[in-house]
Structure 1
Amino acid sequence: MMSIRWFDGVWGDGSEQTLPKLVSSYLELSDPSVAVTETFYLANVLILSNHIQRAHELINTLYKYRDEIAPASSTPTNSSTPVLEYFWQAHKDISRPFHEQQYESALKEDSLTLDEYLAKEQWGQYRESCRTRWMLEHLSVAEPKDPHIWRETDDPAMLAMCSRLLAKEETQGLYPPQESIREALAAAMKLYAQPQAPVEEGVDYTSTQAWRSRHSFLIYRRLAIELAIRLGELETASAILSMALRVDGFGRSSGASLQDFLFVPGIYDVLPVLAKGGKESNPLFVEELDAEILVLEASWKELLERLAEGAWIVNKREYKRMGLESSADILFPPATEARIEAKENDVGKLPADLKEMVRIANGYRGGWDFLAGGMNGIQDIVPSDFPLEEVEDHFFGRGLKRVEGDYSGDMLEFLSAVDCEVDHFIIPPAMWKANGEESVKDGEYQYWQRHIWGQVKSWGSVRESIVDHVQYIEEMIEEGMKEADDDYNYDDDTDDGE
């Protein structure tokens, strides 16, 4: 799994994170609406990497489930934005996640169509990038009588001033002639050709004098990108965008946010060119396989293989003592349809995802203190006489009703694959629905484990627990850790293969 460098160029510290950890960090936030907002930002990173379909799928999913992630009672979540609207405008072959009229209805007061509104907003950004008055106020640089003097100077501020003047057009909705655009771009490229150190992490350039020397402040990269696009010079536009990503970061230090770049007219013609350079051109570039893993739900086969391969790496010594020879021995053989049907006839309907799992592997082996001993196959599932009332406090926040007396139905219990001090339980769908709040949906259930000391850990499904295990294992591998084993020196373990 790839790592992604997450740093906006101004605010906060940079961090190197895997994509799953990044997404998990969003979902762990106290305000769930922030999780929605940040994941929209991650969708923009997919767009920047030219994974248009994957970004579309992620955006659709966010719109589909955002009210469940961030209920209406919490801080309002994202609605559509001009950047998203431009995304759909530029990709008319993909369907929108909500009704076409929803955004346009907000424009009735201005008597504008959506296309007219987007064009107006894009021109407004272009005009804002051409402002020159602030250069006089903050840099004491006055407008020259002849903006063509850029050819005769190397002064960064004057080069920027001339480029802005040549690109400026006061008539709303109109742009300069091609000759002026070409010269404005040439002046900007002369500035950009001068050496410029990358921004430093954690430095707020707006609170220091350092911002005065940033090329991306003197002439916004997004303006130069648009000039190049209007000239049909997509390679040049890609090079400027790459420079912004590598040297400036995002935020005020670059005069543009990621959303600003993705709102530049014609940017979707540039992104395929940028993507050819991979991480060399775009430090936030997401590989195709990682984009698929991020957006698409991993198959049970992939998930279980990752569990087994990772578990073998971090717990190999104990597995070898158990007689296992490779990671393939961690997974049990699949259960037959006949066995699944027989077990359901015996104990009632089993959770759908559990049946999906056992068709691939009928359980997996853990260790004495690793993965709660693992999970034995469905053949060992039996009705449990353990009273739900003893652990009800743990489930009230997950949808369990508060009742007087006993809960109806029986939980299911099954063994760990390895003898250990953990018991495994399932509150099956029928029981969970019968004893749950109105919010509990058909098919939902709870899978939980109880340590002999009384500690309870639960998940909304067996699959959630497997995903949790995989993430835990892969973080251990990333940090070079292995499962503790007091009588074994892992420094002597040079055989990392199977």
Structure 2
Amino acid sequence: MSIRWVNPGNNEPNTLPWLIKSYIDREDPSPAMNEMIHLAELLILSNHLTEAHLIVSAVCKLAENFETNAKGEPLAYEIGIPYALQTFWHIHKDTFPLPKRLPPGSSTAFSEKELAEIQWNKFRECTRTGWMLDRLGVVEPSNPSSIWRDTDSPEMLAMCARLLAKTTTPGTYPPDNVAREAVEVAQKLYAMPQTPLEECGWDAGKPHRHWYLLYRRLVVELAIRVGELQTAADVLGQGLREDGFTTGDNLSDLLLIPGIYDVLPLLTAGGKVSNPFFISKEEAVVMVREIVAALELRAEHGRQWELHPSKVGWRELLDRLAEGTWKAHNKECREMGLGCAQDVLFEPATEEEIAAAEKKFGELPADFKEMVRISNGQVLQTPFLAKDARTMEDKLTNPILRFKGGWHFFGGGLAGIRSMSMDESGCADVGYMHYEDELEDFGLSEMIELRPGTESDSFSHYIVSPKCWKEAMEKAGKEVKDGDYQYWYWAYWWGSGIRHFDSVRDFVAHCVEEVEEMIEKGGEEYDG
């Protein structure tokens, strides 16, 4: 069974095998943990409440740490339980109890007053109208009930619906007759044909999508409040089909609507016809079984890294990098005259080249040398220069690449050993913010800089040699194994966000994971 879904947070496609692998395989499991939480919200939207509860409860119980990885470094993504799930447990506390362990910052419980305040603030957000004058030039009518039937302006209809729903006293809602009228106005708007997204804009003078003018969650809530549950389901389903999850109608906010759990059975009755994000019961059961098993596996046995050096040697790792680059960068590779994935890898570096580099820069990391002995990179050539026509002069002035990236892809990649130099720009100093104490006395002139493998968005690559790394760590009073070193890469627009790896191999493995994930999710071409 091929189980796929769309992440409601970023609208990216995902698969169950990818989710399982990314949790048990990656050093940082936070992206997968967040995906599991988003998936639970999708299961609730599909009215699979038990399965949603089982997945999030397992994440809360079995995740090793919500803040740091095994090295004590901060996770890439903050792990938190959204209000929608906390509300789910509050509403269904007799059936689905709140997990005993929650990520830091997650509320342990809501009072009825707190929940009501959160929901009313979400409602009030949907009735604001001042922005429509500022952005769209739409003036508030003094009596919206007197004009909406005679106008076909989408902007004015949205304004009228918002004004009818608006109240000024906190915690209050419009009377039923006014709420029904607001729903009627919205239905007139939603019955109009939508302008294609690519033709729409944000300001006056451009057409606008319906969700931008009037959040559907406002209309869904008003319909629920007047007892029109099927209308609420129809409006919600139409929005999901036409626009998916949007800024105004993200999934967490939709699940916060009071009374939404009375609407979900009506929405899911039509399956994917009503809700394009619908997950079947059969799929939900499989998801629970496999996700819980993955959480238990990592909790009991730790990370299960597929690309560990004991499992994957340099030859296979580089072959997989080449295959992934060929598939994800196929157009670019062909424009460079490459005919297949194997053409991406160039001939190995010679022992003489390695010795010359070490004479100039000192002993190089063992894994770095092992890599260049297998392949000193990927071919980078101008369109008019055939691979077998490279002269010695050309090789010296256009160094063979270790591997090629893109504008952002792989940070531009790494150039070969002939493109190394000592860091003279001082840019590597930003990396010290991560190891400020250890590298306090470390000289910038001892940092090896490697040029990116292709034109990129100002990326720089660095190696802290084993000798320098050991000296710096021992001076800081920390233990370090012989041969340990650091590989960093950075772009000035990242600020202090330099990327740290414990070896070049770790970086290459990261690139393999990145490109294979892109392909797994359906990415064929990457223009980074």
TM-score range for the pair, normalised by the shorter chain length = 0.5 to 0.7
Give, in whole Å, the separation in 2 of the partners of 1:179 and 1:188.
14
Structure 2 stretches lacking a partner, 5+ long: 294-299, 302-366, 368-519, 523-528
The alignment partner of 1:53 has SS state of helix
Q: Deviations over 1:86-140 (max 9, x none)?
A: 101221221211279x989789xxxxx6221111011001001000100001110
Match of 1:164 in 2: 162
Match of 1:91 in 2: 92
Q: 2:274 aligns with which of 254, 266, 281?
A: 281
Match of 1:46 in 2: 43
1:268 matched to 2:261: yes
1:218 matched to 2:213: yes
Match of 1:173 in 2: 171
Q: 1:228 aligns with which of 223, 226, 251?
A: 223
Give, in whole Å, the separation in 2 of the partners of 1:142 and 1:136.
6
Give the partner amino acid of 2:180.
Answer: R
Give, in whole Å, the separation in 2 of the partners of 1:206 and 1:189.
22
1:78 matched to 2:48: no
Q: Measure how far apart 1:38 and its partner are.
A: 1.7
Contact kept in structure 2, 1:169 and 1:175, CA below 8 Å? yes
1:56 matched to 2:53: yes
Across the aligned residues of Structure 1 and Structure 2, the Cα RMSD in angstroms comes to: 3.7
Contact kept in structure 2, 1:211 and 1:217, CA below 8 Å? no
Match of 1:256 in 2: 249
Match of 1:122 in 2: 119
Normalised by the size of structure 1, how large is the TM-score? Answer: 0.53
The alignment partner of 2:4 has SS state of strand
Give, in whole Å, the separation in 2 of the partners of 1:69 and 1:170.
40
Q: Deviations over 1:230-263 (max 9, x none)?
A: 01111111111111211112133xx221111111
Give the partner amino acid of 1:182.
Answer: R
Match of 1:239 in 2: 234
Aligned pairs for 1:78-477 (under 5 A) are 78-92=79-93, 93-98=95-100, 114-148=111-145, 149-196=147-194, 199=197, 212-252=207-247, 255-297=248-290
Give, in whole Å, the separation in 2 of the partners of 1:36 and 1:23.
10
The alignment partner of 1:213 has SS state of coil
Quickly say closer, same or farther: Cα 1:81–1:257, change in 2 above 3 A: same
Quickly say closer, same or farther: Cα 1:43–1:156, change in 2 above 3 A: same
Give, in whole Å, the separation in 2 of the partners of 1:18 and 1:138.
39
Quickly say closer, same or farther: Cα 1:197–1:155, change in 2 above 3 A: closer
Contact kept in structure 1, 2:67 and 2:79, CA below 8 Å? no
Give, in whole Å, the separation in 1 of the partners of 2:6 and 2:101.
33
Give, in whole Å, the separation in 2 of the partners of 1:287 and 1:105.
30
Contact kept in structure 2, 1:167 and 1:176, CA below 8 Å? yes
Give, in whole Å, the separation in 2 of the partners of 1:283 and 1:236.
18
The alignment partner of 1:35 has SS state of helix
The alignment partner of 2:64 has SS state of helix
Contact kept in structure 2, 1:129 and 1:223, CA below 8 Å? yes
Give, in whole Å, the separation in 2 of the partners of 1:198 and 1:270.
29
Q: Measure how far apart 1:34 and its partner are.
A: 2.2
Quickly say closer, same or farther: Cα 1:143–1:7, change in 2 above 3 A: same
Quickly say closer, same or farther: Cα 1:276–1:105, change in 2 above 3 A: closer
Contact kept in structure 1, 2:8 and 2:251, CA below 8 Å? no
Match of 1:6 in 2: 6
Give, in whole Å, the separation in 2 of the partners of 1:87 and 1:212.
37
Match of 2:509 in 1: none
Quickly say closer, same or farther: Cα 1:52–1:210, change in 2 above 3 A: farther
Give the partner amino acid of 2:60.
Answer: Y
Give, in whole Å, the separation in 2 of the partners of 1:7 and 1:57.
19
Q: Measure how far apart 1:274 and its partner are.
A: 0.7
Give, in whole Å, the separation in 1 of the partners of 2:141 and 2:220.
24
Q: Deviations over 1:167-219 (max 9, x none)?
A: 0011001111001100011001110011125656xx9x777879851111111
Quickly say closer, same or farther: Cα 1:88–1:198, change in 2 above 3 A: farther
Q: Measure how far apart 1:299 and its partner are.
A: 12
Contact kept in structure 2, 1:222 and 1:261, CA below 8 Å? yes
Give, in whole Å, the separation in 2 of the partners of 1:141 and 1:206.
16
Give, in whole Å, the separation in 1 of the partners of 2:106 and 2:287.
31
Contact kept in structure 2, 1:198 and 1:248, CA below 8 Å? no
Q: Measure how far apart 1:77 and its partner are.
A: 4.3
Normalised by the size of structure 2, how large is the TM-score? Answer: 0.50
Q: Measure how far apart 1:282 and its partner are.
A: 1.0
Contact kept in structure 2, 1:90 and 1:268, CA below 8 Å? no
Match of 1:489 in 2: none
The alignment partner of 2:277 has SS state of coil
Give, in whole Å, the separation in 2 of the partners of 1:246 and 1:180.
28
Match of 2:498 in 1: none
Match of 1:32 in 2: 29
Match of 1:385 in 2: none
Q: Deviations over 1:41-66 (max 9, x none)?
A: 01111111100000000010010122
Give the partner amino acid of 1:151.
Answer: R
Match of 1:387 in 2: none
Quickly say closer, same or farther: Cα 1:211–1:244, change in 2 above 3 A: farther
Contact kept in structure 2, 1:7 and 1:249, CA below 8 Å? no
Give the partner amino acid of 1:272.
Answer: P
Give, in whole Å, the separation in 2 of the partners of 1:168 and 1:176.
7
Q: Measure how far apart 1:81 and its partner are.
A: 3.2
Quickly say closer, same or farther: Cα 1:289–1:209, change in 2 above 3 A: farther
Q: After superposing the two structures, state which structure 1 stretch, 181-190 or 72-81, moved more.
A: 72-81
Give, in whole Å, the separation in 2 of the partners of 1:134 and 1:224.
19
Give the partner amino acid of 2:79.
Answer: N
Give the partner amino acid of 2:169.
Answer: T
Give the partner amino acid of 1:82.
Answer: Y
Give, in whole Å, the separation in 2 of the partners of 1:215 and 1:35.
33
> Aligned residue pairs: how many?
294
